[in-house]
């Protein structure tokens, strides 16, 4: 009997250790023990540097943790979003790998900045915002009360996934003069090219090239139907039809060449050549992005809601309603209703890395390099911006002091 009890107790301990290991992720050997007395602590990854920092919201203490680095020495710069499940050692970050332009789920050890790519990748779609939330709102926890294990298991990771692709090749275009379908190319310097720009242009020099260089945006209709087999999207021929309008919007880089090999002939002989990576392609009103639910153990994802805009940041208290920014606007996204509702205009441009903390909404404005508290009912700034002493943060996550990775409060 005693031996059976011992075996049973041993089995329970092993199961408990397995659950604890899963929630704590990467090994923590050799870590330092931080001393944090703040009820909430902010973690951020510098977009250009890959530096992981920790900031106490009450104390104002900034602690550089180190450079995020994979085991092969790669520094995953350009991390676009992150999420955090309470009492984990790991921050769940999303990184667009420049070697193949696929987005990878990356575990970042919040104590050491060590990192590892996890499971399958998420394809060429870029993640621009992420958050971990419970499906339903629960009772508020006190500052010194850690999140119970049963509530940790209820958390889900959601993300905004922009449908980006690699493009190359060219199409024979129909410049079209109707207001809704007219050719429009916004160059890298903001200048515009339309059908009117091409009228009467003889192009006697430069081999018929009208413009060659970077582009921010292209709106165009193809001439004729069928496979434009000199245009490739992700390496495969792309089917384009004359009935549809196509737009190409930069996320990574996009270069175009607009030329007419028959100088002085009608506009129907114009060609548009593309070279670009991490580009958004939209057909008529097809979705530009999605809210997806990501499995934090494997990187697998399921589409929760199609989106008509590529939003930056994602914040929520529960999975019933999300907040995100588009340009200088704050939106509410409701998956159950499939709605994208404009809340209001933000005071500061380039605000992303949104996060809900204890019922309050925060974001980081890259325009002023400050943390902003935002009124979720109208988008107005609450109080004064907070200087974290860091620059260029695309991603922020918050940890409650009671939810330290060790399962105990940092103090």
DSSP class per residue in 315-371: EEEETTEEEEEETTEEEEEETTTTEEEEEEE-SSSSEEEEEEETTEEEEEETTTTEE
pLDDT, tens only, 337-356: 999 999 999 999 989 889 99
User: 22 pLDDT exceeds 90?
Assistant: no
User: 99 pLDDT exceeds 50?
Assistant: yes
Do 142 and 30 fall within a single domain?
yes
Query: What is the C-alpha separation between 184 and 147, in angstroms, rounded?
Result: 52
Boundary residue ending a domain (215, 250, 283): 283
The domain spanning residue 103 has which CATH number? 2.120.10.30
pLDDT of residue 140: 60
Do 152 and 178 fall within a single domain?
no
Report yes or no on whether pTM surpasses 0.85: no
Segment 265-271 shows an average pLDDT of: 64
User: 323 pLDDT exceeds 60?
Assistant: yes
pLDDT grade for 142, boundaries at 50, 70 and 90? low
pLDDT of residue 278: 78
Average pLDDT of the chain? Answer: 80
pLDDT, tens only, 152-204: 777 899 999 988 878 888 888 877 656 556 789 999 898 999 888 877 665 55
Do 173 and 274 fall within a single domain?
yes
Half-sphere exposure of 44 (CA within 13 A, CB side): 29
Segment 362-385 shows an average pLDDT of: 94
Q: Are 373 and 407 in contact (CB under 8 A)?
A: no
User: 4 pLDDT exceeds 50?
Assistant: no
Q: Are 133 and 319 in contact (CB under 8 A)?
A: yes
User: 383 pLDDT exceeds 70?
Assistant: yes
User: 113 pLDDT exceeds 70?
Assistant: yes
Do 341 and 397 fall within a single domain?
yes
pLDDT of residue 122: 87
Domain that holds residue 89: 10-162+288-403
């Amino acid at each position: 009997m005693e031996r059976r009890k011992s075996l049973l107790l041993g089995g329970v301990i092993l199961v408990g250790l397995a659950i604890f290991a899963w929630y704590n992720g990467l090994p923590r050997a050799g870590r330092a023990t931080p001393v944090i007395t703040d009820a909430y602590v902010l973690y951020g990854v510098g977009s250009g540097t890959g530096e992981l920092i920790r900031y106490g919201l009450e104390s104002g203490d900034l602690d550089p943790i180190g450079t995020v680095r994979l085991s092969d020495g790669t520094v995953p710069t350009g991390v676009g979003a992150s999420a955090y499940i309470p009492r984990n050692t790991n921050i769940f970050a999303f990184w667009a790998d420049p070697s193949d332009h696929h987005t990878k789920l990356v575990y970042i050890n919040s104590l050491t900045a060590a990192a590892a790519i996890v499971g399958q990748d998420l394809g060429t779609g870029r993640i621009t915002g992420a958050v971990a939330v419970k499906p339903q709102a629960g009772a508020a926890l006190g500052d010194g009360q850690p999140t119970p294990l049963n509530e940790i298991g209820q958390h889900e990771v959601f993300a905004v996934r922009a449908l980006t692709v690699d493009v190359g090749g060219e199409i024979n275009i129909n410049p079209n003069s109707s207001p809704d379908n007219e050719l429009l190319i916004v160059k890298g310097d903001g200048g515009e090219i339309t059908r009117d720009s091409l009228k009467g242009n003889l192009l006697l020099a430069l081999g018929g090239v009208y413009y060659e260089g970077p582009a921010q945006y292209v709106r165009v209709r193809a001439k004729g139907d069928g496979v434009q087999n000199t245009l490739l999207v992700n390496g495969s021929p792309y089917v384009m039809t004359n009935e549809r309008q196509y737009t190409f919007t930069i996320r990574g880089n996009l270069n175009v060449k607009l030329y007419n090999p028959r100088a002085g002939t009608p506009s129907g002989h114009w060609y548009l050549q593309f070279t670009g990576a991490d580009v958004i392609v939209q057909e008529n009103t097809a979705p530009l992005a999605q809210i997806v639910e990501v499995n934090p153990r494997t990187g697998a994802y399921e589409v929760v809601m199609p989106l008509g805009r590529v939003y930056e940041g994602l914040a929520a208290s529960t999975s019933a309603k999300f907040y995100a920014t588009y340009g200088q606007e704050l939106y509410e996204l409701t998956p159950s209703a499939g709605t994208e509702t404009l809340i209001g205009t933000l005071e500061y441009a380039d605000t992303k890395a949104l996060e809900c903390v204890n019922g309050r909404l925060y974001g980081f404005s890259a325009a002023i390099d400050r943390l902003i508290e935002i009124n979720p009912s109208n988008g107005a700034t609450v109080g004064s911006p907070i200087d974290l002493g860091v620059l260029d943060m695309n991603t922020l996550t918050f940890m409650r002091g009671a939810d330290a990775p060790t399962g105990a409060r940092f103090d």
